[in-house]
Structure 1
Amino acid sequence: MAQAKRQRYSEFELLKNGFSTQWHVIGALIIRELHTRFGRDNIGFLWVMIEPSLLTIGVTMIHFVDGPFAHVGMPVGSFIVSGYTFFCLFRSVVNRSSGAIDANRTLLYHRIVTIFDILVSRAILEAASTILAVIFLSLLMQSLSVGFLPQRPLLMICGLALLTWFAFALSMILAAYSEKSSVIERLAHPAMYLSMPISGAFTLQQTMPDPIRWYFSCFPTTEMFEFIREGQFGFYTSDYTYPVYAIGWCLVLTYIGLISIRKIRKDVHLG
């Protein structure tokens, strides 16, 4: 009995140390990604927040030029921030995964560094930059009286977590198959732009007619954007959020992604 207890304790300690080690690896990869993408010149790491913010401001100005916004009661600034800014997260995580293995090929010499760690670090960095951009843009929109801070931030964070998970699962699949074929990598970028109209970033399920709503709801990100809208606008409550459906998609894609990167790891040439 005593020997069994000692064995279970040692296994727990081994698992704990393993998680601790991998967390340090992911942290180091995040810092490396920051240096690689933004460097230390000019404003340096602030580009993490400024880059998605500039894109969102540009889209917001386009809607201002077009005239009054279609969704009554929702300020233009807050609607775009809760839509396009989060879509930038989804697009960046998926698009950057296609070159993740090639850009970090030398790091795979170290057995402690895995493809999974590389993709996780990129997804965490994109999620963190989105949170910073949302806070900055919300404060800016509020000062200009065209928006306000999220009224239910915890609900928005739930939507952000689901969207990041979904994008990460897709990134694993794309990273694996783009290593086999360059065609997959070339098709991924236009596919992300084509998915924008049906992603839910610029639509509300609550205001759409029934047949069209059903077609849109088949795409799981529409559920995630509904959570984000509910978090942004305290008065908005959607009757068309199905978290089980969104989580199911994430679980299935994560399983496929884990199998894909495990298989491709054997074929990755480090030289």
Structure 2
Amino acid sequence: MRGGLMQLRDGFYTQRHVIGALVIRELHTRYGRDNIGSLWMLLEPLLLASAVAFIHASNDTGKHGAGIRIVPFALTGYMVFIIFRAIVNRSESAVEANRPLLFHHMVTIFDLLFTRALLEIIATSGALALLYGLCIALGLADFPGRPLRLMAAIMLLGWLSFGLAMCIATGVHFSKAFSKFVHPVTYIIMPLSGTFFLLEWIPEPYRSWLGWSPINQIFEMVHSGVFESYDSPYFNPLYIVGWCMALTLLGLLLLRVLRRHIHLN
């Protein structure tokens, strides 16, 4: 028993260093070391979200039902969706771009995908915190009513996106045509995901149909986490976790198949 725990501890220690090294490599590869370098990790989503917040700020007339202010509503919805879109879209190139690293036995396809997902969550969450804090200072937003729920929703969306990323990475390897659908589908999902609406605004039976989607339920968590006046009855954390676990299990099984078909020349 003691030997098994020691082996498990050593395994976690090794993987922690592998992930750390991959994070540094990904930062240098993606952003380089010149000019502001890795700060682009924060500035990239920050600039995109700033444009969205500015557009909505010009039309902000105060509250939009249920005590919801339009600027923080649009800002948090868009920034959280960026996490989903970035993790999913970057998964299609993760294996090919890092194929030489698979020569090292300690590096796995799971590590490559996990590293990219982790970077997207950290970068976009950091940008969201900075921009939301600025909105609070300017009087455009109030402090989140349920910050723990908001953070839990972001983590769940990251988990769900990572599970999808493993499935997509496998699909792209076996079918180049599959990759052509990844980006368009993410854009189609955006207006249906709850990024810019609440489920209570949607009439039946469409509300029930959208409510089956774990992404819509996660965005209900996001919006109810931001606005204390909106306590959504349209999400179930256990249902969301069930989807995350199912996609993770499927993704892990697909990665085992994928690893057997990757030839290192």
Give TM class, smaller chain.
Answer: over 0.9
Deviation at 1:53, TM superposition (A): 1.4
Amino acid in the other structure paired with 1:240: Y
Check the 8 A contact 1:155/1:231 in 2, yes or no. Answer: yes
Deviation at 1:180, TM superposition (A): 1.1
Identify the residue that residue 168 of structure 2 maps to in structure 1.
174
Match of 1:99, SS state, is helix
Separation in structure 1 between the aligned mates of residue 151 and residue 189 of structure 2, nearest angstrom? 22
- 2:126 paired with 1:132: yes
Check the 8 A contact 1:139/1:148 in 2, yes or no. Answer: no
Amino acid in the other structure paired with 1:264: L
Identify the residue that residue 23 of structure 1 maps to in structure 2.
16
Q: 2:233 aligns with which of 231, 239, 256?
A: 239
Identify the residue that residue 61 of structure 1 maps to in structure 2.
54
Deviation at 1:64, TM superposition (A): 4.1
Identify the residue that residue 102 of structure 2 maps to in structure 1.
108
Distance 1:212 1:203, change over 3 A: same
Match of 1:138, SS state, is helix
Match of 1:112, SS state, is coil
Q: 1:33 aligns with which of 12, 18, 26?
A: 26
Q: 2:43 aligns with which of 38, 50, 53?
A: 50
Distance 1:117 1:126, change over 3 A: same
Separation in structure 1 between the aligned mates of residue 261 and residue 219 of structure 2, nearest angstrom? 37
Identify the residue that residue 9 of structure 1 maps to in structure 2.
2
Amino acid in the other structure paired with 1:32: R
Query: Structure 1 length normalisation: TM-score?
Result: 0.92
Deviation at 1:61, TM superposition (A): 2.9
The CA deviation string for residues 101-137 of structure 1, in whole angstroms up to 9 with x for no partner, is 0010000001100000111111111111122111111
Separation in structure 2 between the aligned mates of residue 76 and residue 44 of structure 1, nearest angstrom? 33
Separation in structure 2 between the aligned mates of residue 97 and residue 131 of structure 1, nearest angstrom? 19
Check the 8 A contact 2:163/2:251 in 1, yes or no. Answer: yes
The CA deviation string for residues 59-107 of structure 1, in whole angstroms up to 9 with x for no partner, is 2233345664883322222112220001000000000000000010000
Distance 1:183 1:66, change over 3 A: farther
Amino acid in the other structure paired with 1:60: A
1:194-213 alignment, distance < 5 Å: 194-213=188-207
Separation in structure 2 between the aligned mates of residue 12 and residue 67 of structure 1, nearest angstrom? 56
Deviation at 1:145, TM superposition (A): 2.0
Query: Structure 2 length normalisation: TM-score?
Result: 0.94
Gaps of 5+ in 2: none
The CA deviation string for residues 166-206 of structure 1, in whole angstroms up to 9 with x for no partner, is 00000000001101111111110111001001111111123
Identify the residue that residue 162 of structure 1 maps to in structure 2.
156
Separation in structure 2 between the aligned mates of residue 70 and residue 184 of structure 1, nearest angstrom? 42
Check the 8 A contact 1:199/1:222 in 2, yes or no. Answer: yes
Deviation at 1:239, TM superposition (A): 1.0
**What is the Cα-based RMSD across aligned positions, in Å?**
1.6
The CA deviation string for residues 230-262 of structure 1, in whole angstroms up to 9 with x for no partner, is 221122200111112211111111111001111
Identify the residue that residue 3 of structure 1 maps to in structure 2.
none
Separation in structure 2 between the aligned mates of residue 148 and residue 48 of structure 1, nearest angstrom? 26
